[in-house]
Amino acid sequence: MFLAYIAARRWYDDTTAFYSGLIVATSFGSIAVAHQALPDLPLTFFISLTVWGVFVGLLPDPPGKVPTTSRQTWLIVSAVGAACAFLVKGPVGIALLLSVLLPLSLLEWVMFKRFWQVRPRDIVIATTIGLALTVPWYLAMTMEHGVAYLERFFIAENLDRFATDRYNTPRAMWYYGPIVIGGLLPWSLFIPLCLPELRARLITWRPDIPTLRIGLWAIMPLVFYTFSIGKQPRYILPVLIPLSIFLAHGIVSALRDPVSKPRSFGLCCIACGCTMLGIAGLIYRAQPLLISSPPVILFTSTIALGLTGVLITAAALAYIRTTARHWGQTAVALIATSVVVLNLAAHHGVLASNGESEVQQMAAMIRAEQTNEEPYGRHRVFNRNLLYYVRSPHVELPVIRAVRDFLRSPERVLCVLREEDAALLARDGVTFRELGSLAYLNTGSLTLRMLLNPDPERYINHVLLVSNR
């Protein structure tokens, strides 16, 4: 958020900087990934810091902008960002930096006859600092685990993820398009405001330098990941900051030109209001699935989110009618407020449990039955977090045959599995004793299709704890 503010302030103005930070902080995608506590968001920050540091420290200043006073400092900042990205997830940060820097440098030379403005000594110093931060860690890991660690990390965990389907099934080339639009919601609904200026610059093929740099900063990581085999939604996070600046510039330009763009801006705000109303309707409709959420919280969330949608729409209509800037600013403030309301509703209502979560309840059942520290296994349920609550080793049972063999163990064992798998085992003649059960919705797998057709019989899992004696 602060990096988006700094970048937009340097290239544009304080207002654009404020909206850029606001978009980063309140986009659906950034909030969702932040709640997952994965390394991808810190990685995004380090990659963005690397790219921005190179923009300021290596490339010439755009005409009319504040000149850079210490290029060496910014190159060191970039080197530190690249080193941190390398420590978090390997060479992907360097690859993304080069994918942006090389074509950008070529285009600026061809179009503006401008090239790097830096002393070779500064590049050497920054590179040395980056190596000093990264090499000791990989050297220590190699001494501890051998060369196999380097092969595992750089080949299996990086190259194979990019170039093979070892970790992910191949996905379509257009896979990241909906991800970017959905991740930037509700602000991606303002993209139409940015298109006229962008189209005009493309027609004349004379984009200004900030537009060119922001464009390649957003486009090249998207191209890089589009050609990868192993695609994941969170991989595309490095485009968040440049796209937030792009959208903020379009919003601010529309607010400053209420005469020619009131209808376009107002319609974008109305689309945001209708989106919030639609989400409120989906939450209300999905109540049969949300068996762990307190009904009063679901009702309150639906009303609050629906109310913000109505207020956004009302402010947008007032702006279209009066072209008064304060109505446009009010609509934007209400949109940000609606995201806060949605976040509270989602993570403290829709995705929250009324008391202990299902995985905690199952862990309590297992601990109560482990009177003699019996081993337990799991099959197709609670794959990620059950072991953290049970706090004892488990046996992974990836296929039903493994479950069958496990339950035929000579000693007493426990097993967590779905009701339909237990029925399949019973038909095969496997004897077991049911110790407990609970109903469970995997909220991590919620999709729009499930919300539109909230069939409990189809999506609610009944999980059993069984023993072989």
Region 135-159: what's the mean pLDDT? 85
- Given a cut of 80, whether residue 366 has pLDDT beyond it is yes
User: What percent of the chain is modeled with pLDDT above 70?
Assistant: 97
- 128 and 105 both lie in a single domain: yes
Ramachandran sector of residue 380 (left: φ over 0; alpha: ψ -120 to 50; beta: rest): left
pLDDT of 149 > 90? The answer is: no
The predicted structure's pLDDT at residue 205: 64
pTM across the whole model? 0.84
Q: Rounded to an integer, what distance in angstroms lies between the CA atom of residue 262 and that of residue 268?
A: 10
Same-domain pairing of 49 and 11: yes
Q: Is residue 250 part of a domain?
A: no
**Residue 263 sits in the same domain as residue 335:** yes
- 104, 126: one domain: yes
User: Is 247 part of any domain?
Assistant: no
Interatomic CA distance for residues 303 and 301, integer angstroms: 6
Domain end call among 325, 350, 375: 350
What are 4-49's pLDDT values in tens digits?
999 888 888 899 999 999 999 999 888 888 877 778 889 999 999 9
In the prediction, which pLDDT does 211 show?
Answer: 85
Q: What is the DSSP string of 321-376?
A: HH--HHHHHHHHHHHHHHHHHHHHHIIIIIS--SSS-HHHHHHHHHHHH-TT---E
Q: Is residue 251 part of a domain?
A: no
pLDDT tens digits for range 263-307: 889 999 999 999 999 999 998 888 888 888 878 888 888 999 999
Considering its fold, how many domains does the chain have in total?
A: 3
395 pairs with which residues across the strands?
Answer: 377
| pLDDT value for 356 | 80
* pLDDT band, residue 451 (cuts 50/70/90): confident
Is pLDDT of 84 > 70? yes
Question: 436-447, pLDDT tens digit by residue?
Answer: 999 988 877 777
| Range 179-201 burial, b when 16+ CB lie within 10 A, else e | bbeebbbbbbbbbebbeeeeeee
C-alpha to C-alpha distance for 2 and 21, rounded to whole angstroms: 6
Residues 364 and 463 grouped into a single domain:
yes
Segment 323-350, tens digit of pLDDT: 888 899 999 999 999 999 998 888 777 7
Report which of residues 210 and 134 the model is more confident about: 134
Same-domain check for residues 98 and 233: yes
CA dist., res. 313 & res. 270, Å (int) = 5
Task: Count CB atoms within 10 A of the CB of residue 365.
Answer: 20
Same domain for 307 and 184: no
Together in a domain, 380 and 332 = no
The set of residues, in sequence order, having a beta carbon less than 8 Å from that of 109 and lying 6+ positions away, is 115
Full domain range(s) for residue 407: 358-467
Rounded average pLDDT over 158-174: 78
Q: Is the pLDDT confidence value at 147 over 90? A: no
Domain boundary among 320, 350, 380: 350
For residues 53 and 10, give the distance between their C-alpha atoms in angstroms, rounded to a whole number: 12
Domain boundary pick from 291, 315, 350: 350
Structure token pair of residue 325: 């800037």
Q: Are residues 175 and 67 in the same domain?
A: yes
Co-location of 154 and 99 in the same domain: yes
Whether residue 294 lies inside any domain: the answer is yes
